[in-house]
Every structure is written in structure tokens, then in C-alpha cells.
Amino acid sequence: MQYKELANTGVKVSKIAVGTWQFGHAAVWGELSPLEEYQKIIDEAIDAGVNLIDTAKAYGTSEEVLGKILKGKRDKVLLATKLSRQEYDYNTARSELEGSLKRLQTDYVDLYQIHWPKINIPGTWHKADMEKKDYEDVFNSLIKLKQEGLIRFAGVCNFRLHNLEGLGEQALDFIVTNQVPYSLLWRFYDVEGVSEFCKQKNIGFLAYSPLAQGLLSGNFDKDVKNVQEKIRQANILFNEPVYARAIKVVKVVEDVAAEIGATPSQVALKWVMERDVVVSVLSGIRKLKHLEENIHAVDIPLTEEHLKKLDEASLNFQNTLPQGLELWIGDNSKENLEKLGIKA
């Protein structure tokens, strides 16, 4: 395994981490795996040197499942969870965290993250914006929870440039990560300058949906209408006309993979890992075989030339999308897609 430093904390984080949304949210992911499969995933990940595990209150029973399977192994991992409510005052934050600690069967979390800012994104379920008090609450709550020893580090998720700026300098010095969707098929945080901003502030990306929810694995090269899972149906990338264009990027990934004897998933994950701003890649896993494949992404030999080719395909795709989109849309009707500026 290879590691990167978490901001300037001295803590080393594995370049690939296990995302556990799929450990507990059948309502959106469809059939979950049995507990034993998740146990094996975590055990093998730890044996391979993976030390970061990401969950959230919002992921159904994920925290409970992790609490069970991490018994006796808690100190081997950095446990990251989230304040999934969009109320950030101390009393709410404290009681939400207490709930997480109970479900996770631990007395501290390593990284506590604000799951979502309030943000107004047309065509999605996000309708409000952060106010001054919200930003103050975020900072005051996180700092207090750290002083109380309940969390070791604090982070945010899905924070765009104006959200980061809204936090202010003191809070920006305090938080260590911004967890964002980041893959060959989702480059908004580069295009909008968030990556550059975070690099300057020494805030690392925890890159989520690095395989674009499996699309970059090459396993979806078929009619998009067959996609069953609610979470994928709501993902803009799994909707035409975006899907057909995304598949062209997948083809480039497949070509590179064939050239170097790796799998498309490994190539797509490695590309994310190679970005300076990324501290760790959160790979969502519900099948042991995927973990076994994905952790070896760390070792595959991608040349500068490959990285450039992937980057070009990725940005060309990104440039076909309107700015400011959100990965998931509440309503994937043709009318709403058109309203969002997505045209054939």
C-alpha cells in the first residue's frame, strides 16, 4: 500500500479507502451483501494496508454494520463519518455524533465531516443556500467536538468554491479534507477552481464516486435503460444523452487498460490517485472481488502519456456538460434534463 499525509497532521492515509455506502443503503443500491461478505471486505482491506473507512449516518445501516465488524479492530483504521443533517449548531452536531458513535461502537471518530452544505442547485433537491450563521455553526461545532476529544479531525463534503470561502480563514486552517465527487467523468471541482483552492489551503480531496458508481469499470456497456439501481438512475451520467458520451471515455479507459494489462477500474482509480489534490480515493465496495481488484490499482504502471490521454478524454467530455451541475438529479425526466441545459 502507498500512503499520503492527511493535510499537515502527520497522519498517513492509504491512497485507496473503502467507501461503505453499499454496506447499508438497499433503498438506493438494491440488494446488499451478507454481513460475512462485508466482514471479509474490511478484514482484507486492513490486511492490505487500507486504513481509511468512510461511512455516514445517511447510509442506512452502514454505521451499525461497521460497528459490528470492526470489533477488536477499531484502532487499525481511521474511521470517517458524517453529520448528515443540514443543521450545524452544536447541540444538533453533538447529538448526531453521539448517535454515530453508538452505532459504530466507538468513543471517537477520526474524521467527522459535514455531509452537505445547504446549496441551491437548480433541477435537484438542493434548494437553499448557506447563511452566515450556518458557516459559524459548522466551525464552532466541529472545533468544540474536537476539543472534547470526540473527533480527531474535521472535514467537509461537497463544498464548492463559494462554500469554502464562506467558511473563512480560521475554519479553512482547521478542516483537513473536502470529500467531493471526482473521477474521469466528473471534473467540476477542477473546472470551477476548487481543486486549486484546496491545494493552496492544504485541504485534501477524498475523491468519492471515483468509478462514477461503476460506469468506469466498463461493465455497463449496454442499454442504459437496463440500469436498475435508484442511485444510478438518479445519476446524471446514467442518463441519455450524457451516457452515450460517457461511454466514449470508458472506451479510452479500456484501451489504456488493455495496453498495460490492467482492468478499466484500476486505470480509472489510479488516474484519480495520481492527482495532487487527492489524499485518498474512496472506492465503494459491496463485493469482495471488487476490493481485491481495486486495491491493486495503486501498483499499476500508468505513464505520463496515458495520464495525458485520459485527462484529455475526460475534459472533452466535461466540456459537453453545463457548469455547476450536481451528480444526482432529483428528477431525470427529459424535461428536467433539458431545463438543466443537457442537450443531445
Ligand X SMILES: NC(=O)c1ccc[n+]([C@@H]2O[C@H](COP(=O)([O-])OP(=O)(O)OC[C@H]3O[C@@H](n4cnc5c(N)ncnc54)[C@H](OP(=O)(O)O)[C@@H]3O)[C@@H](O)[C@H]2O)c1
Place of cell 470529500: 179
- Helical packing angle, 264-273 and 304-318, nearest 10°: 90
Work out how close the CB of 186 gets to ligand X at its nearest, in angstroms, rounded to a whole number.
10
Which residues sit at the interface with ligand X, rule CB under 6 A? Answer: 19-22, 54, 115, 157-158, 179, 208-214, 217, 219, 265, 282-284, 286-287, 290, 293-294
Euclidean distance between the first and the last CA atom of the chain, given in angstroms as a whole number: 43
Work out how close the CB of 187 gets to ligand X at its nearest, in angstroms, rounded to a whole number.
14
Is 46 within 8 Å of 293 (Cβ atoms)? Answer: no
Output 204 or 284, the one with its CB closest to ligand X.
284
DSSP of 54-110: E--TTSTTHHHHHHHHTTTTGGGSEEEEEE-SS--SHHHHHHHHHHHHHHHT-S-EE
Work out how close the CB of 90 gets to ligand X at its nearest, in angstroms, rounded to a whole number.
22
Is 44 within 8 Å of 84 (Cβ atoms)? Answer: no
Output 22 or 163, the one with its CB closest to ligand X.
22
Output 26 or 344, the one with its CB closest to ligand X.
26
Work out how close the CB of 335 gets to ligand X at its nearest, in angstroms, rounded to a whole number.
26
Is 147 within 8 Å of 115 (Cβ atoms)? Answer: no
Work out how close the CB of 333 gets to ligand X at its nearest, in angstroms, rounded to a whole number.
23
Work out how close the CB of 253 gets to ligand X at its nearest, in angstroms, rounded to a whole number.
12
Output 221 or 305, the one with its CB closest to ligand X.
221
Query: Positive or negative CA dihedral for 167, 135, 173, 83?
Result: negative
Alpha helices in the chain (DSSP H): 26-29, 35-47, 62-69, 90-104, 132-147, 161-167, 169-174, 188-191, 194-201, 230-233, 242-260, 264-273, 288-295, 304-318, 334-339
Cis (ω within 30 of 0) for the bond into 117? no
Output 120 or 148, the one with its CB closest to ligand X.
120
Work out how close the CB of 208 gets to ligand X at its nearest, in angstroms, rounded to a whole number.
3
Output 59 or 197, the one with its CB closest to ligand X.
59
Output 211 or 340, the one with its CB closest to ligand X.
211
Q: How many whole angstroms separate alpha carbon 4 and alpha carbon 334?
A: 43
